[in-house]
Amino acid sequence: MTTSKALPTAVALFTLGVAAIVAMFVAGADGLPAWVFAAGWLLAPAGLAVGVFSAVRGSRRR
């Protein structure tokens, strides 16, 4: 089985999104700029979606 080129991108997006979410919990709502909240709301789901798409596309028959 070969790895898709989109999988490292998906892992990076998801990791950045989760890191932003953890930063939100650690710093609280008042200590962070708005882009951190946007990153948490957008990057983690985007990384998950790219990862699922990559897995489904890689598992299809040729």
Could you state, in order of their start, the residue ranges of all structural domains in the chain? Answer: 6-59
pTM above 0.75, yes or no: yes
> What pLDDT, on the 0 to 100 scale, is given for residue 47?
93
- 13: Cβ contacts below 8 Å, ≥ 6 apart: 43, 44, 46, 47, 50
Q: How confident is the model at residue 45 (pLDDT cuts 50, 70, 90)?
A: very high
